[in-house]
Amino acid sequence: MRQRNYSPADNLLIGIDQALRTLFGRPQVTERSNPAQTIPESEMNDQERDETARLMRINHTGEVCAQALYQGQALTAKLPDVRESMERAAQEENDHLAWCEKRLLELDNRKSLLNPFWYGGSFLMGAAAGLAGDKWSLGFVAETEHQVEAHLNNHLNRLPPQDEKSRAILEQMKEDEIHHATVALEAGGAELPEPIKQAMKFTSKLMTKSVWYL
């Protein structure tokens, strides 16, 4: 099947549609089902529910950032196969976005009020990485996913032991992040300089602290 070539105006409209879906609508997910779908709700006290909800809100905002990063990189990626890889990864991250949002609703909580701010900043970072060249863009993906994996491990340790629904979601997300990092490195991703890695960690901590409250 011949791949359609989009004009710059088409790509702009597609990007706007993706941003609106990510922030305010229903993202386009894959064929996969929610890993927590068949797991019964567990008994948690108010403190446990509140902490779990805050953790899931942070994870939801993290997926908003992931969407923006991938969309920004796909916009500026130079090689078609790299662009397609970014778009597929973004679609799989949409699964995470939908799963986290559903879990938040089940916990009677809300998404972060700061999502538009974090989306905009992450989109610019992704676009800049794409402009730097595909090997750096892919390296940025790999490092992002490695940091997200560590972040998910921390959250898995903090979840109430009985909350199997949230745990199932985070475990599947972790598996996906590891896969995305591996794919990016195998496609030619370069290891990022240490100052960039540290800057990414600082930004991640800032996001985590702010979204915990807002």
Known binding positions: 63, 93, 96, 145, 177, 180
| Known binding residues for Fe cation | 63, 93, 96, 145, 177, 180
Q: Give the contacts of 122 (CB within 8 A, at least 6 positions apart).
A: 64, 65, 66, 67, 68, 69, 72
**Closest to 101 (Cα-Cα) out of 67, 145, 148, 58:** 58
Do 78 and 185 meet the contact criterion of CB atoms below 8 Å apart?
Answer: no
**Closest to 188 (Cα-Cα) out of 119, 133, 149:** 133
| Angle at alpha carbon of residue 61, lines to 59 and 66, rounded to 5° | 90
Radius of gyration (C-alpha) of the chain in whole angstroms: 17
